[in-house]
Amino acid sequence: MNERRDRWTIVLALAAAALLAAAAAGCGGSSNSNSSTAATAAGCKAVEAPEPREERLTAPEQTVKPGEKLTAVVETSCGSFEIALDSRQAPKTVNSFAYLARQGFYDGLDFSRVVSGFVVQGGDPAGDGTGGPGYTVVEKPPADASYPQGVVAMAKTAAEPPGSSGSQFFVATSIDTGLPPEYALLGKVSKGYSTVERINKLGRTDEKPRQTVLIEKLTIE
């Protein structure tokens, strides 16, 4: 468990190449997993990688009410999945995520980090792990928070305090990620987990997907 915690911290801090290779090996990567794919993966469309962009938005006012039932519908080039947003435990985090989605912020971004058997991560406008909306929300998760398969939470760097988030989110694909309770909770995949699994299988040893996976549209219902 400690090994996975260390791996995640360094991944978000732009890890050293040696540790990246070890992390991928721990997730079952094969010797051919970092070669470019010759054909589009089953169930995924061939799409172009998005151009990096810089965002400078202002943090939104709180409009989401604690306990309000909201669902995020994530349409990707590999299929769709839905997230039941947890506005009860994380109203500020959900409010920011919903605001960005309604602004069309996520449309056209990609899943820029895929660690097979651990997490798939998207929502970075810069495309290199450093991008965000231009503001930060802090909402520390409960001390007993965990991140098993299907849980969706917000990514942060090791230097940021617990519960910090911008726009990058991850979906846990491991039964037990072993992550500490430092990542702001967003919700849980409630429908279409097969799409997440399809993306999960595209991981390479450098933690990039073998082919571009776009968020074509992200809407809040």
Domain enclosing residue 53, as ranges: 2-29+45-220
Q: Which amino acid is at 94?
A: V
Which among 111, 101, 90 is positioned nearest to 181, based on CA atoms?
A: 90
Which residues lie across from 169 on neighbouring strands?
A: 122, 154
What residues contact 178, with CB distance under 8 A and at least 6 apart? 1, 2, 3, 4, 5
> What burial letters (b/e) apply to 5-22, b meaning 16+ CB within 10 Å?
eebbbebbeebeeeebbe
Angle at 124 between CA 16 and CA 70, to 5 degrees: 130
Is residue 142 one of the residues assigned to a domain? yes
Q: Answer whether 166's CB lies under 8 Å from 111's CB.
A: no
| Strands annotated E in 26-76 | 70-76
Domain contains 94: yes
Exposure class string for 177-211: b at 16+ Cβ within 10 A, else e: bbbbbbbbbbbbbeebbebbbbbbbbbbbebbbbb
CATH assignment of the domain containing 50: 2.40.100.10
- Domain for residue 40, yes or no? no
Task: Give me the long-range contacts of 123-129 (CB less than 8 A, separation at least 24).
Answer: 123/155, 123/167, 123/168, 123/169, 123/215, 124/167, 124/168, 125/52, 125/53, 125/54, 125/55, 125/167, 126/52, 126/53, 126/54, 127/49, 127/50, 127/52, 128/52, 129/12, 129/14, 129/168
Q: Is residue 116 part of a domain?
A: yes
**pLDDT value, residue 39:** 65
Residue 156 lies in a domain: yes
pLDDT attached to residue 41: 87
Query: Does some domain include residue 36?
Result: no
Domain count, the chain: 1
Question: Low-confidence residues of the chain, pLDDT below 70?
Answer: 1-39
38 falls within a domain: no
Query: Looking at residue 17, what is its pLDDT?
Result: 37
Question: What pLDDT shows up at residue 166?
Answer: 98
In one-letter notation, the amino acid at residue 179 is L
Per-residue model confidence (pLDDT) at position 13: 42
pTM summary value: 0.82
